[in-house]
Chain A
Amino acid sequence: MRRLRSALARAAGMFGRSRREQELADEIESHLQLHIADNIRAGMTPEEARRRAVLRFGPVESIKESYRDRRGVPALETLAQDVRSGVRMLRKSPGFTLVVMVTLALGIGANTAIFSVVHAVLLRPLPFADPDRLVRVWSAYPEEGVELGTTSPLDLADWRAQSGSFAAIAGYPNLRLSGFVLTGGEAPEELETVFVSEGFFEVFGVEPALGRTLRGADHREGDNRVVVVSHGAWQRRFGADPGLFGATVILNGEPFTVVGVMPPDFVFPAAGVEMWAPQSLIPESGIPRLRPVRWLSVVARLAPGVSIEQARAEMAAITGRLAREYPDSNDDLTATTIRPLHEQLVGEVRPAVLTLFAAVGLLLLIGCANVANLVLARSEERTREVAVRAALGAGKLRLVRQVLTESLVLSLLGGVLAIAVALAGSRLLVGLAPAGIPRLESVGIDATVLAFTLAASLLTGLLFGMVPALRITATSLQGTLKEGARGSSGGGGRLRGGLIVAEVALVAVVSIAAGLLIRTYSSLRDVDPGFRPDNVITLRVAARATEGYVDFFREALERIEALPGVEAAGMIRPLPLAGDTFQGESFGFSIPGRPEPDPQDQPEAYLRFTSPGYFEAMGIPLLAGRDFADGDVRDAPPVLIVSRAAAERYWPDDDPVGSIVTVGDNEATIIGLVGDVRQMSLMEEPEPVVYGAHSQISRVGMTLVVRTAADPAGLIDPIRRQIWELRPDQPINDIASMNTVIAASVAQPRFAMALLSLFAGLALCLAAVGIYGVISYSVGRRRREIGIRMALGARPSEVLRLVVRNGIVLALFGVALGLLAAVAATRLMASLLFGVPPLDPPTFIAAAALLLAVAALASAVPALRASRVDPVVALRR
């Protein structure tokens, strides 16, 4: 207790230094005065009294010093002194400080940004109770090699009834089903709804933010008009109304009770879910409940004390039993796969994220080496200062500490800047990242991430401070004072040179890779998608196939086309490049009058559903024949339109228009030929496509495509009004211009390009700093030599050339090595490239030229300094 108290008092004693100094001086003075007074009273003269008192008191300064030692914490005070002197040194050479701090800020910042992703995506526990007890369960078909199959609700019910390994087990659809349409607000809206089986909320064990979750009884048919709302939907759609639970809302035209609202971080199975509803709401007619109909993803919570191996063993026994019991449907479903939920959620992205992390780690390491070089170069200029201080009695330890403190001051300052870099960087990463990375929405800079930054800064400072510190311990004091910097640079020079060559080579590889991706992206932008995307707006109108919906759409299209500013309107499913997982039905057909082909050569194309006007609205050229018309209804003769790719493949010699194709027993006439469209991705060649009229083959989930004369933004509202006048409860989602759709479709290559370009930029900065550091170092070392050369008549321009050539030679080696490595490396990224060969000469040449230019620039700065060396000063040193 006394010790703690005294420690606190001492820590406090470090502050208010001058006031305390004054107080000590006062106390000593008062002591002397009292003593003098006593002495005078004892009969001494004032002079004698004072002399005796002062003599008796002893050496004031040394007493003050020991008092000071007792007052504060000496080690900390030295530290404060070192920090102050470090800051002073840094302020004296702002150029050096700036370069180092920017290097560190970039290096540490990039690491922090990536770490914030690693932390959010990989490390942080899932926001569920005891998340390590949660598992995913799949149906497996060992004989077919299928490990991760979906599950039938009937099998799930048997698993639940027969197993003892799970505290709870539940299923949810493995595909996105149309959600509920909420009416009663400003506009009808489709809410992303997950239809969950019983036990779903018990699996996660998360308390609702409001109300309750779904209970067993909620799943009973008749009692199942209940929903749980996500926090996001509660805020967006219901104005964060705290009285929402228990309230009645109108979904798909029927009253439902909202029983609860979940907390913000509960977004299972995916971000964007707005509502959870009982699975029993899906009618038998929608998805028949049969054993072979397997459409559920299964999650479960292991029962207390049950290991995942025990669960696997028990599930193997159960599935084996079910396979014997239901041989018609289950004879091949003889096993399950059980994996931790966390692993399943992040498993796919883990290698990519960790690779990225390792890569930025490497960059930081290179940055450290560079900064160490810089610090060395500067310590070269300070060797005499250090030697003088050593001669004046500063211990080696004290000198080492001083250098390390300076390094730490630098790295911590760099760390502070790094936070800004990381903030911008992580925001950029999240903004650019393609969809599908789990938990990316929760990436941010929090305490853990800041702790990482601090640790990274300290480690960095120690790492690059170690080099000059070690040099001090190895420096011979006398030698330095006598010789100045006359010694040879020893083996370190080659090591440093090698480091730079390797750095430049690495940067060359990364820049070439980035260059290739930039070229890929720009050729993607130049690719002709097969339609004209400008001034086209698309809206998803997820109508259910109810009575009269064909008439509704016909009428809606007529009204929209009549709007001023609208040039054409039509509908399609699926919209090209929209990333719709539904890519059209595979459509196998035969052509009467031709010999029966082998089964694998049977004509086949993707079948898509359109309305009249779609081709015109999208700007797809009609090459022959006619478009669909309003007369092509269910009772009229079936008609089809084929794409050019289909025509070229299946009618290479004759005109497809007018041909008859048969599908089973049905015949259809081909009435038109249209241009090809890139459907899945701009990178893929168009596939053969057959278009059918949606009025003949009714389908849901159509997307409205409207071409306007000018910017379509102003027409969104009129279009929606026309639809709602016809059907007030029609939800309209995913409103986007076709250009936005295209941009989203290239998010992945854009992300790769942006990431690699950032990387290349970062690496280039580091390489520049590296070259600058090494050249500065050698200039410092060779100052005398340069002085002699100049004394012997060398002109500054010659010195300049000499030094710059040093840098260029290093860079040349690096670039040569890098080009060789790139030849090997770019082959690996061939699948990422589009419209540019892996060995694209312009990219290689540009990267090499850029690097050499940067190298020349980086060595020019110290070279200029060298050319200004005053021979007299240099020789005297």
Chain B
Amino acid sequence: MGEKSDVWQGTLALMVLKTLEAMGPLHGYGVARRIEQISDDALAINYGTLYPALLKLEQEGCITSAWGRSENNRKAKFYELTAAGRRHLAGQERDWERTAGILGRFLTLGETS
């Protein structure tokens, strides 16, 4: 557990949105599991930040929520990406790629010199 990195505040929202885009409507547990799986369990989702983050996204209108039934027929609250959320995600993705690109070049530069 010790080597697992915590998810940064800002990027958690991005991951949640990306997950919902890829998976469609999903409950909070599913979102958390999915992010952990994608990162090969390298990331541990802190639930103390996940649920407030979901609430924040909902308040901002990026996602909506509704109670439904899970695949094994359990009651769960499902979150779904809205059109605004999709737009927001696209913007965030571009920003992230640019940042990651700059950071990548910077780090590469550091290695060569």
Interface residue ranges, A against B (CB under 8 Å): 2-3, 5-6, 9-10, 13, 23-24, 26-28, 30-31, 33-35, 37-38, 57-59, 62-63, 66-67, 69-71
Whether A34 lies near B76 (C-beta < 8 A) is yes
Q: List 29 A-B contacts (CB under 8 A).
A: A2-B60, A2-B88, A5-B60, A5-B61, A6-B56, A9-B58, A9-B59, A23-B77, A27-B28, A27-B77, A30-B27, A30-B74, A30-B77, A31-B28, A31-B29, A31-B47, A34-B30, A34-B70, A34-B76, A35-B29, A58-B46, A58-B47, A58-B48, A59-B48, A67-B52, A67-B55, A70-B55, A70-B56, A71-B55
Q: Are the CB atoms of B77 and A66 closer together than 8 Å?
A: no
Is B72 positioned at the interface, with any CB of A under 8 Å from its CB?
yes
From 51 to 65 in chain B, residues with beta carbon under 8 angstroms from any chain A beta carbon are 51-52, 55-56, 58-62
Number of interface residues of B (CB under 8 A): 26
Q: Which residues of B contact A2 (CB under 8 A)?
A: 60-62, 84, 88
Interchain CA distance A24-B52 in the complex, whole Å? 11
Q: Provided the pairs A6-B59, A30-B27, A69-B52 are in contact, do residues A37 and B76 lie with their beta carbons within 8 angstroms?
A: no
| Complex CA–CA separation, A34 to B30 (angstroms) | 9
| Complex: chain A residue closest to B74, CB-CB | A33
B70: which A residues are within 8 A, CB to CB?
30, 34
Do residues B48 and A66 form an inter-chain contact, with CB atoms below 8 A?
Answer: yes
Determine the distance from Cα of A66 to Cα of B54 in the docked complex, in whole angstroms.
Answer: 12
How far does the alpha carbon of A198 sit from the alpha carbon of B48 in the complex, in Å? 82
CB distance from A662 to the nearest CB of B (A): 101
Interface residues of B in 7-35 (CB under 8 A from A): 27-30, 33
Which A-chain residue is minimally distant from B88 (CB atoms)? A2
- Using Cβ atoms and an 8 Å threshold, which residues of chain A touch B72? 37
Residues in A neighbouring B27, C-beta threshold 8 A: 30-31, 34
Smallest CB separation, B15 vs chain A (Å)? 17
Residues of A within 8 A of B60 (CB): 2-3, 5-6
Question: How close is A684's CB to chain B, nearest CB, in angstroms?
Answer: 78
How far, in Å, is B55 (CB) from chain A's closest CB?
5
Interfacial chain B residues near A28, Cβ < 8 Å = 51
Chain B binding surface, main DSSP class: helix
Give the residue of B28, B59, B75 whose beta carbon is less than 8 angstroms from that of A5.
B59
B76: min CB distance to chain A, Å: 4
Chain A residues whose CB sits within 8 angstroms of the CB of B51 once the complex forms: 24, 27-28, 63, 67
Bound-state Cα–Cα, A35 to B27, Å: 12
How far apart are the CA atoms of A5 and B52 in the complex, in Å? 16
A37 adjacent to B55 (CB under 8 Å): no
A23–B66 alpha-carbon span in the complex (Å)? 11
Nearest-CB distance from B45 to chain A (Å)?
10
Max count, chain A CB within 10 A of own CB: residue among B27, B29, B76: B29
Find chain A residues with CB under 8 A from B49 CB. 66
For the residues of A in contact with B, the DSSP-based class is helix
Name the residue among B28, B59, B62 with the largest chain A CB count within 10 angstroms.
Answer: B59
CA distance A35 to B33 in the complex (A): 9
Query: How many A-B contacts if CB must be within 8 Å?
Result: 70
Complex contact A63–B74 (CB within 8 A): no
Q: Return chain A residues, CB-CB under 8 Å to B47.
A: 31, 57-58, 63
Measured CB to CB, the nearest residue on chain B to A63 is: B48
- The closest CB in chain A to the CB of B70 belongs to A34
Given the complex of chains A and B, what is the CA–CA distance between A30 and B88 in angstroms? 28
Which residues of the partner chain A approach B55 to less than 8 Å between Cβ atoms? 67, 70-71
Other CB < 8 Å A-B pairs besides A28-B51, A57-B47, A71-B55, 14 of them?
Answer: A3-B60, A5-B59, A6-B56, A9-B59, A10-B59, A13-B59, A30-B29, A30-B75, A30-B77, A34-B29, A37-B72, A59-B48, A63-B51, A67-B51
A63 to B51, CA, bound (A): 8
| B residues less than 8 Å from A23 (CB atoms) | 77
Q: How far is the CB of A497 from chain B (nearest CB, A)?
A: 56
B74 touches A37 (CB 8 A): yes
Q: Is the CB of A34 within 8 A of B46?
A: no
Bound together, the chains give a CA A24 to CA B77 distance in angstroms of 10
Per the bound structure, the CA–CA distance linking A30 and B70 in Å amounts to: 10
Residue of B whose beta carbon sits closest to that of A64: B51
Closest 10 CB pairs of A and B: A9-B59, A6-B59, A70-B52, A34-B29, A2-B60, A63-B48, A31-B29, A30-B76, A6-B60, A27-B77
Please name all residues of chain B whose beta carbon is closer than 8 Å to the beta carbon of A67 when the two chains form the complex.
Answer: 51-52, 55
Q: Which residue of B lies closest to A5 (CB)?
A: B61
B29–chain A nearest beta-carbon distance, Å? 4
Q: How far is the CB of B51 from chain A (nearest CB, A)?
A: 5
Q: In the bound complex, how far is the Cα of B62 from the Cα of A617, in angstroms?
A: 92
- Closest beta carbon of chain A to B74's beta carbon, Å: 5
Between B27, B28, B48, the greatest number of chain A beta carbons within 10 A of the residue's beta carbon is seen for: B48
Chain A contacts for B59, CB-based, 8 A: 5-6, 9-10, 13, 70
- Distance in Å from the Cβ of A13 to the closest Cβ of chain B? 8
Neighbouring B residues of A27 by C-beta, 8 Å:
28, 51, 76-77
Minimum CB–CB distance for A121 against chain B, Å: 50
From A68, which residue of chain B is reached at the shortest CB distance?
A: B52
User: In the assembly, what is the distance between CA of A57 and CA of B28, in Å?
Assistant: 12
Taking the nearest CB of chain B, how far is it from the CB of A464, in angstroms? 39
Determine which of B30, B48, B75 lies in contact with A26 in the assembled complex, contact meaning CB atoms within 8 Å. B75
Report the bound CA distance from A27 to B33 in whole Å.
Answer: 16
How many angstroms between the C-alpha atoms of A37 and B75 in the bound complex?
A: 13
Q: Which residues of A contact B30 (CB under 8 A)?
A: 34
A31→B54 CA distance, assembly (Å)? 14
Residues of A within 8 A of B88 (CB): 2
Q: How far is the CA of A241 from the CA of B1 in the complex (A)?
A: 90
- Let me know if B48 and A62 touch, CB within 8 A: yes
Closest-CB distance, A28 to chain B (whole angstroms):
8
The residues of A that contact B52 with a CB separation of less than 8 Å are 66-67, 69-70
- CA of A809 to CA of B107, assembled, Å: 85
Rounded to whole Å, the gap between the CB of B54 and the closest CB of chain A is 9
User: Using Cβ atoms and an 8 Å threshold, which residues of chain B touch A35?
Assistant: 29
Report how far A619 CA is from B30 CA in the complex, Å: 105
In the bound complex, how far is the Cα of B61 from the Cα of A67, in angstroms? 17
Q: Which residues of A contact B48 (CB under 8 A)?
A: 58-59, 62-63, 66
Q: How far is the CA of A401 from the CA of B70 in the complex (A)?
A: 47
Which interface residue of A2, A58, A71 has the most chain B CB atoms within 10 A? Answer: A2
| Most chain B beta-carbon contacts within 10 A, residue among A24, A66, A67 | A67
Q: Contact between B61 and A34 (Cβ–Cβ < 8 Å)?
A: no
Complex CA–CA separation, A69 to B49 (angstroms)? 12
The answer for the CA separation of A66 and B74 in the assembled complex, in Å, is 26
A37, closest chain B residue (CB): B72
* Interchain CA distance A35-B48 in the complex, whole Å: 16
A69 to B61, CA, bound (A): 18
Which residues from chain A contact B84 at a C-beta distance below 8 Å? 2
Report the separation of the CA atoms of residues A24 and B30 in the bound assembly, to the nearest whole angstrom: 16
A10 to B49, CA, bound (A): 17
CB-nearest residue of chain A to B48: A63
B50 to chain A, nearest CB (A): 9
A70: B residues at CB distance < 8 A: 52, 55-56, 59
List of B residues within 8 angstroms of A66 by Cβ: 48-49, 52
Q: Give CA–CA (A59, B88) in the complex, Å.
A: 31
Rounded to whole Å, the gap between the CB of A346 and the closest CB of chain B is 53
Bound CA span A26–B77, Å: 9
Distance (Å) between the CB of A614 and the closest chain B CB?
87
